[in-house]
Amino acid sequence: MRFFSCHHQVRHIFKAQECLRYLLLCIFLGNLVTPFQATAQQNFSVKLIAAVQPPNSPYLADYTYAQSLNLNIILSGRTFYQGILKIRLESMDGRGIVIQTRATYNPIVDLGPSQTFTGIELAPYFSQENLDFIGFDRQQYLRTKRIPDGIYRITFSFYDRFRPDVLVSNVDILSQKILRIFGIQPPILNLPLHMSTTNSANESAQPVNINWTRPANTPFTPEYEMIINELRPECQRTYNGINTGNAAASRVSQAELFNCLGPEIYRTTTTSLTYNYGMQAEPLLGLGKWFSIRIRARDPQGRTLFINNGISQIRVFRYGKPCDPPPRVRVKAMNPYQVQLAWDALSTHTSYTVHFKKAGENQEWYSQRAISNRAQINDLEPGTYYFFRVSADCNAFSSEQGATTDLRMPSPAPSQVQCGKDLIVDLSNSNPIQNLQVGNKIMAGDFEFTLTEVRPLGGGWFAGKAYTNMKL
Chain segment 137-168, per-residue pLDDT in tens: 999 999 988 999 999 999 999 999 999 999 99
Give residue 106's pLDDT band: very low, low, confident or very high (50, 70, 90). Answer: very high
d(CA 392, CA 202): 13
Pick the range with the lowest mean pLDDT from 39-43, 77-81, 186-190, 373-377. Answer: 39-43
d(CA 176, CA 290): 53
Name the average pLDDT for the chain.
87
Report domain 46-181's class: mainly beta
Element (H or E) spanning 410, and its range?
A: none
- The predicted pLDDT at position 247 comes to 82
Give residue 245's pLDDT band: very low, low, confident or very high (50, 70, 90). Answer: confident
- The predicted pLDDT at position 167 comes to 96
CATH topology of domain 188-319: Immunoglobulin-like (2.60.40)
- Residues in Cβ contact with 81 at an 8 Å cutoff, skipping those fewer than 6 apart: 45, 46, 75, 110, 111, 168
- The predicted pLDDT at position 327 comes to 96
Inform me whether the pLDDT recorded for 340 exceeds 90: yes
- The predicted pLDDT at position 443 comes to 79
d(CA 83, CA 441): 110
Nearest to 314 by CA among 266, 257, 251: 257
- The predicted pLDDT at position 49 comes to 97
Q: What are the residue boundaries of the structural domains of the chain, listed by start?
A: 2-39, 46-181, 188-319, 330-408, 414-472
pLDDT in tens, 206-229: 899 999 999 887 888 999 999 999
Q: What percent of the chain has pLDDT over 90?
A: 62
- The predicted pLDDT at position 77 comes to 87
Mean predicted confidence (pLDDT) in 95-104: 95
Greatest mean pLDDT among 126-135, 239-248, 441-450 lies in 126-135
- The predicted pLDDT at position 9 comes to 41
Of 290 and 439, the structure prediction assigns the larger pLDDT to 290
Pick the range with the lowest mean pLDDT from 71-75, 165-169, 291-295, 446-450. Answer: 446-450
Q: What is the dihedral of CA 318, 321, 322, 323, to 10 degrees?
A: -150
pLDDT in tens, 409-468: 999 877 666 666 666 667 777 788 888 888 888 877 667 788 888 999 888 889 998 888
Specify the CATH architecture of the domain 330-408.
Answer: Sandwich (2.60)
Q: Do domains 46-181 and 330-408 have the same CATH topology?
A: yes
- The predicted pLDDT at position 205 comes to 74
